[in-house]
Structure 1
Amino acid sequence: MSSSPVLLWFRQDLRLSDNPAVAAAAQSGAPILALFILEEGSEDHRPLGSASRWWLHGSLDSLARDIANRGGRLLLRRGNPSRILPELLAHSGARSVLANQRFGAPGSADATLFESLRADGIAVRLFNGTLLHHPDALSTKGGTPFKVFTPFWKALSATLTGDLAPAAPLSAPERLEAPAPLPEGDTLEDWDLLPVHPDWAGGLRGHWTPGEGGARERLEAFLKGPVIRYGEGRDLPGQALTSRLSPHLRFGEISPNQVLTACRRVQRPGAAAFLREVGWRDFCHHLLHRNPDMADRPLRSEYTRFPWAEKEDAATALAAWTRGRTGYPIVDAGLRELWQTGWMHNRVRMIAASFLIKDLLVPWQEGERWFWDTLVDACPANNAAGWQWVAGCGADAAPFFRIFNPVTQSQKFDPKGLYLRRWLPELAALPDHALHAPWTASPLELTSAKVRLGETYPQPIVDHGQARVRALAALKSLSSSAV
């Protein structure tokens, strides 16, 4: 074994299997200085939200144990990579860095750092361990980036079959020997990633198992049953028919290639529809690659002039929305699910986002920031692209005038109220026909269900019909190019 180590930098790829950077490090025959940096002090890096910090703790703990079982050790450091990497390279004698690429603002910062390292004679090898296809390698026939998903998915799908198909997923190396002595590092406890006062993460612990093993178990469970009904069932929040793989993909505990391979192996009904959603994830990262500020600036520039509600009114509305106290059950149930589990069903995400943006006229960036803090799957690409999609200002977005009616959406996708009763127990005794709109219940029905509107459950904070008219008027005030 070579005495000079290689530096293996983990970022959004917290796994050992099907990780090309890990495989290259193991194949080098050199000791492996495995590193994770809790990035701070860089304007290009967005601090993780509270739920993501909780997940990161569990994911790193799992990764560290997996590396230790193979004879290695995961070094933890905190700070700016532009300072930490040169310091570790000098200290360890390593002359090469291996990593999987990132996209968006972190990717831009990486490019500057890696250029500097190369100028100092450090060999830098980068891999695609995050997406099905690198953003720079997929474009329209005219050579421009895709802005519409359907042709993007058609082009991406063509690269996933025949001679262009990805190679079989890589196995995890049997050994990952660490150099001796290993530089000193932090402990996970040093980072205070877990909530303490108060410890609000009980619901997260009850619903999730961060780490590569948890990702593998989640995929296997999905492919054994729920995937069969995924095509029609993914819109039904009251039934467990989605994969819930999103946080595992976000932290790179499983690769999209592993998901693709597993889905094709089982050939179950619903797998094709599910893989299309994996393709949407790639699409969002392609957008982020070229628009690093996507969480703040609309892709359609005319929407920077959108006339939102006055700041005081927007703040009051946002507070009610975040607490799940809007008076619209499907919206409130979604926000309660989010707060208690760190996750929200995708159909409900769209309904809740539409309500915040269009019924309440709160800027979409406020909702994006709340999701960023509370979602365990707060992906910089998917989260921002999803909010821009609902707001009508993103790529291939739903037009702004498509305003979800929270009552009819609830009746259509949760007709028996399974989802509503789970997250809004104060309304559980209402009959189905009144559950979706409690203000339509008769006095007898309210009394029998022990519901007191305005006390045990809020009255609607807006009238949807009036709010819809107001939203369309706001849209009309933009220039005709925004319509």
Structure 2
Amino acid sequence: MKHTIFWFRRDLRLTDNIGLAAALNNHANVLPIFIFDDNILKELEPDDARVHFIHDRLNTLNSELNTYGSSIKCLKGSPLEVWKQLINEYNIEAVFTNRDYEPYARERDAEISAVLRQNKIPFKSFKDQVIFEPDEILKQDGSPYTIYTPYKNKWLEKFKGITTLAPLNYEAFHKTIYEFPELNTLGFKPTTIKVKPFQIHQLKDYGKYRDYPNKDVGSYLGPHLRFGTVSIREIIADLKPENSTFLNELIWREFFMQILYHFPEVVNQNFKSKYNDISWRNNDTEFKLWCEGKTGYPLVDAGMRQLNKTGYMHNRVRMVTAAFLCKHLLINWQWGEAYFAKHLLDYELASNNGNWQWSAGTGCDAAPYFRIFNPITQLEKFDKTLEYVKTWIPEFGTTAYPAPIVEHKFARERALKTYKEGIKS
């Protein structure tokens, strides 16, 4: 019997899933699989909340498929070895999946595609997690945009509305119930940190209150877009005209994706090489205090404690905490980026890298190095009543709360001097 395989990756949903629909509409006996990738898992802690979320989500999809006599075949290992095993086990007619644009994913897919080709198996990939792929929004000369505003304008000019897919043909799924793995058999354990449901209904106030961390008008959409539990097309189709500020954030996501695609070296390097000679202090003790939310700057500390406890951090506070690490403490942005990558539920390489380099001044379309957030005035402006701070720092206002680890004026002048000297050299 011939099988067509659909490979779930960053698209953990049945509805409006482009690659899945293409497989089901053109083939019978479609076997859905998911690979718990050892190359990724080996870098994670046993209680990583994102793995728990993926496992829960797959379990939900699997239960839904069970009602049709179908299921997801979950596998674990190196993707290349898993695919060699699948090729031996099944008579595979074709493999369908949705495209991923990160450097590791592109390398992995090239490797898998080559093995499938050797076995005369077509590998068909589709655009699904974005509205526009990295090569679809380019300058007139065919080069990529490195400034957000002209990219956004071209994106909006090209955008012609949303068409979502018709319901799936569930009868085309392969009819076998596979055993669904327990989390512990994958080498992981449950965590108390949970991914919240996304909320689009409250975005009417997003433009007005998005900078105020105590207002909680965010969408909590990040992890859902990261793992594809919702379609980007469905989200944008649901947005109202007054949600244009939020749409801009979704366009930033695609902007950073195409930066990473066209300039993959940014993973380990400054986008702007003129910043390569900055003499970072990289003080381990101060970095530890920043990680723990014990810098003596309340807005910074509240943000870090929110991150450590929940896997989330408010967007305005992300900017303040990142700027504080790079400018006030003169710690290389890569340290902060790695910490966020480990703890953020919505961690996505392109956005995390892009935003950290923006904060450090080293990235494309970045804040200039001499723009240094004042964490004291940021607190007065965006959490005047201290509601957010007191939520996350119960000892605030007592002798148990530490004094600032560095004085703002001194830190600002030191940062300006260090950046200026580094850029000159």
Flag whether TM exceeds 0.5 (same fold). yes
Report the counterpart of residue 163 of structure 2 in structure 1.
167
Q: C-alpha distance in 2, partners of 1:52/1:297?
A: 26
Report the counterpart of residue 12 of structure 2 in structure 1.
14
User: Aligned with 2:163: secondary structure?
Assistant: coil
1:399 is aligned to 2:368: yes
How far apart are 1:159 and its partner, in Å?
2.2
* TM-score where L is the length of structure 1: 0.83
Following superposition of structure 1 onto structure 2, how do residues 24-173 of structure 1 map, counting pairs within 5 Å?
Answer: 24-41=22-39, 47=43, 50-105=48-103, 106-161=105-160, 165-173=161-169
* More moved, 405-414 vs 23-32: 23-32
Q: Is the Cα contact below 8 Å between 1:7 and 1:97 reproduced in 2?
A: yes
How far apart are 1:268 and its partner, in Å?
5.3
Q: C-alpha distance in 1, partners of 2:148/2:62?
A: 37
Q: C-alpha distance in 1, partners of 2:177/2:42?
A: 33
Q: C-alpha distance in 1, partners of 2:169/2:278?
A: 52
* More moved, 52-61 vs 149-158: 52-61
1:192 is aligned to 2:187: yes
1:232 is aligned to 2:208: yes
Q: 1:185 and 1:95, CA in 2 relative to 1: closer, same or farther beyond 3 A?
A: farther
- 1:112-159 superposed Cα distances (whole Å, 9 cap, x missing partner): 321332232111110011111111222011210110111111111122
How far apart are 1:98 and its partner, in Å?
0.3
Q: Is the Cα contact below 8 Å between 1:57 and 1:194 reproduced in 2?
A: no
Q: 1:41 and 1:238, CA in 2 relative to 1: closer, same or farther beyond 3 A?
A: closer
Q: 1:35 and 1:48, CA in 2 relative to 1: closer, same or farther beyond 3 A?
A: farther
Report the counterpart of residue 459 of structure 1 in structure 2.
403
Q: C-alpha distance in 2, partners of 1:92/1:302?
A: 53
Letter of the 2:225 counterpart: L
Structure 1 vs Structure 2 CA RMSD: 2.1
Q: C-alpha distance in 1, partners of 2:304/2:18?
A: 38
2:234 to 227, 236, 258: 258
Letter of the 2:330 counterpart: L
Report the counterpart of residue 295 of structure 1 in structure 2.
267
User: Aligned with 1:98: secondary structure?
Assistant: strand
Q: C-alpha distance in 1, partners of 2:44/2:137?
A: 29
Gap regions ≥5 residues in structure 2: none
Q: 1:181 and 1:345, CA in 2 relative to 1: closer, same or farther beyond 3 A?
A: closer
Q: Is the Cα contact below 8 Å between 1:19 and 1:170 reproduced in 2?
A: no
How far apart are 1:48 and its partner, in Å?
5.0
How far apart are 1:92 and its partner, in Å?
1.3
Q: 1:317 and 1:171, CA in 2 relative to 1: closer, same or farther beyond 3 A?
A: farther
Q: C-alpha distance in 2, partners of 1:140/1:89?
A: 42
Q: Is the Cα contact below 8 Å between 1:77 and 1:185 reproduced in 2?
A: no
Q: C-alpha distance in 1, partners of 2:64/2:266?
A: 35
Q: C-alpha distance in 2, partners of 1:23/1:289?
A: 26
Report the counterpart of residue 323 of structure 1 in structure 2.
292
Q: Is the Cα contact below 8 Å between 2:19 and 2:98 reproduced in 1?
A: yes
How far apart are 1:179 and its partner, in Å?
4.9
User: Aligned with 1:142: secondary structure?
Assistant: coil
- 1:395-420 superposed Cα distances (whole Å, 9 cap, x missing partner): 11111211111010111111111211
How far apart are 1:47 and its partner, in Å?
4.0
Q: 1:250 and 1:41, CA in 2 relative to 1: closer, same or farther beyond 3 A?
A: closer
Q: C-alpha distance in 2, partners of 1:151/1:46?
A: 40
Q: 1:157 and 1:48, CA in 2 relative to 1: closer, same or farther beyond 3 A?
A: farther
User: Aligned with 1:138: secondary structure?
Assistant: coil
Q: C-alpha distance in 2, partners of 1:345/1:176?
A: 43
Q: 1:155 and 1:241, CA in 2 relative to 1: closer, same or farther beyond 3 A?
A: same
Q: Is the Cα contact below 8 Å between 1:71 and 1:175 reproduced in 2?
A: no
Q: C-alpha distance in 2, partners of 1:296/1:70?
A: 46
Q: 1:194 and 1:399, CA in 2 relative to 1: closer, same or farther beyond 3 A?
A: farther
How far apart are 1:180 and its partner, in Å?
4.8
Letter of the 1:178 counterpart: H
Q: 1:406 and 1:85, CA in 2 relative to 1: closer, same or farther beyond 3 A?
A: same
Q: 1:40 and 1:349, CA in 2 relative to 1: closer, same or farther beyond 3 A?
A: same
How far apart are 1:389 and its partner, in Å?
0.9
Following superposition of structure 1 onto structure 2, how do residues 224-373 of structure 1 map, counting pairs within 5 Å?
Answer: 226-263=202-239, 267=240, 269=242, 271-309=243-281, 311=282, 314-373=283-342
How far apart are 1:63 and its partner, in Å?
2.6
User: Aligned with 1:111: secondary structure?
Assistant: helix
Report the counterpart of residue 477 of structure 1 in structure 2.
421
Letter of the 2:351 counterpart: N
How far apart are 1:46 and its partner, in Å?
8.7
Report the counterpart of residue 444 of structure 1 in structure 2.
none
User: Aligned with 1:381: secondary structure?
Assistant: helix
- 1:150-174 superposed Cα distances (whole Å, 9 cap, x missing partner): 111111112222xxx4423444544
Q: C-alpha distance in 1, partners of 2:401/2:209?
A: 29
User: Aligned with 1:336: secondary structure?
Assistant: helix
Q: Is the Cα contact below 8 Å between 1:6 and 1:31 reproduced in 2?
A: yes
Q: C-alpha distance in 2, partners of 1:281/1:239?
A: 23
